[in-house]
Amino acid sequence: MRFFFCFSMALLLGCSTGGTVEVAGVKVGASLRAFADGQGFDYTGHLDKAIKGDEAALQELLKFNPSQDSAAAVGHGQVMKALLGKLGDELFSQKINPLTESQKRQLWAGLELAGATSLKNESPTTMKALLPNDTPTAHRGLYVFNDDQSSFRDCAQPDARYLVVDETGGNLEINYRKLVKFPYPNQPVYLAVKGFKAPYFGSKSLSDGFDAFFIVTEVEKMEAKNFRNTCITYDFWALGTEPFWQAQVSAAEGIIEYRGMDDDRTKVFAYQPPVEEKGVKIYAGVNQESGDNIRIEVEDRPCGDGMSDRAYQLSLKLTINGKDLSGCGIPFEEVAQDSSEMEGN
């Protein structure tokens, strides 16, 4: 008799701790109900009222936070996904607008945990309501494509590093692979885009070393990095002719790069502070993986490139894998000053 009573109540009211119950066709799992009971929250009661049009019950349900329990979090996300389906994109987005940023973050993560990974296509108004309140604006800086975690350093905040979310339909990866045929690991390129920075994006986690997410909505320009377009401080950029070559030495990026015009591959070395011998600064590096080695001797005296009347500040000799080259060096400050003078005119 007692068993029959509990079995009957489980079917009607969901009082049993086992199995899944339904409220107006929306499934509520046992883990979610058990977690809610532990919080003193009548989950099925609020859900029943919310489906019947009780605004206060719906708001309490939307604000419910099961993040301390992974199974309950998935279950809550499934209920939210079902509610989105019942209410429709437009109405559901209106209901979540009053939520705080942290509540929207929690709700979005829950929806993705429940398998709602195509919000942009299936529920664009809801996704817009879940996004932080930011309008895409123009940004430029250095972009690094990575299969797992692409990054961006903004010219406006060069000391910060952002985790990139590509909302352009894959244009960032497409353009990067077209531009850089044989990239070295984490090779940066210059990027001008429209986008915005956000503290969260769905269920994605922000890894150590990143300050925020950078949501890219439009690619305006992507090109190889050079001394004119990069805004991240460098020690100097070196240029040579006959044959043409270029190199960058940057403590801020932690690299020494060399590229000959007859080679599609950029050679890269870890930055080491220079040593000074008789007024000459010497930078050197060895890439243990490729076997390449480089040495750059820099003197603070005027230099001409042999092709124009321009005089550069530094003269240098570069040796790459035993091959000696001569050229001129341009410090970051010189380029920044030239740019400032041009803007002033």
Residues 254-270 have pLDDT tens digits of 999 999 987 778 999 99
Q: Is the pLDDT of residue 107 over 50?
A: yes
Write the pLDDT tens digit of every residue in 285-324. Answer: 999 999 999 999 999 999 987 777 788 999 999 999 999 9
**What pLDDT band is residue 142 in, cutting at 50, 70 and 90?**
very high
In the chain, where are the structural domains located? Answer: 18-130, 137-223, 236-344
Helix (H) or strand (E) holding 259: strand 255-260
Q: HSE-up of 168 (CA within 13 Å, CB side)?
A: 20
User: Residue 121 — very low, low, confident or very high, per pLDDT cuts 50/70/90?
Assistant: confident
DSSP H or E run through 126: helix 124-130
Does the pLDDT value for residue 339 go beyond 60?
no
Phi, psi of 303 (to 5 degrees): -145, 140
Asked if residues 298 and 316 have their Cβ atoms less than 8 Å apart, the reply is yes
3-state secondary structure of 91: helix
Residue 81 has pLDDT above 80, yes or no: yes
The answer on pLDDT for 342 being more than 90 is: no
Asked if 232 contacts 158 with a C-beta cutoff of 8 angstroms, the reply is yes
Radius of gyration of the chain (CA): 29
Residue 185 has phi, psi (to 5 degrees) of: -55, 125
Q: What is the overall mean pLDDT for the chain? A: 89
Cα–Cα distance, 46 to 63 (Å, whole number): 12
258 close to 266: Cβ distance less than 8 angstroms: yes
Taking the CB of residue 200, how many other CB atoms lie within 10 A of it?
A: 20
- CB neighbourhood size of 278 (10 A): 5
Residue 222 identity? M
CA atoms within 13 A on the CB side of 273: 2
pLDDT of residue 113: 87
Helix axis angle, 43-51 relative to 55-63, nearest 10°? 130
With cut-offs at 50, 70 and 90, classify the pLDDT of residue 61. very high
Give the pLDDT confidence score for residue 336 in this predicted structure: 66
Burial of 127 (0-12, 13-18, 19+ CB in 10 A): buried
Query: Is the peptide bond between 185 and the residue preceding it cis, with omega within 30 degrees of 0?
Result: no
Q: Is 295 exposed, middle or buried (0-12, 13-18, 19+ CB in 10 A)?
A: middle
Checking if the pLDDT of 5 tops 70, the result is: no
The helix/strand/coil state of 300 is coil
Tens of pLDDT, residue by residue over 203-228, are 888 989 999 999 999 999 999 999 99
pLDDT at 116 over 70: yes
- Kindly tell me if the per-residue pLDDT of 2 is higher than 60: no
Tell me the mean pLDDT in the region 9-28: 67
Judge whether 47 and 32 are in contact, CB under 8 Å.
Answer: no
Across residues 106-129, what is the average pLDDT?
Answer: 88
3-state secondary structure (DSSP) of residue 167: coil
Q: Please check the confidence at residue 18 and state whether its pLDDT lies above 60.
A: no
* pTM score of the predicted model: 0.81
Would you say residue 11 has pLDDT above 50? Answer: no
Assess whether pLDDT exceeds 60 at residue 44.
yes
The CA distance from 161 to 207, in Å, is: 11
Look at 192-196, 254-258, 332-336 and tell me which has the smallest mean pLDDT.
332-336
CATH code given to domain 137-223: 2.40.50
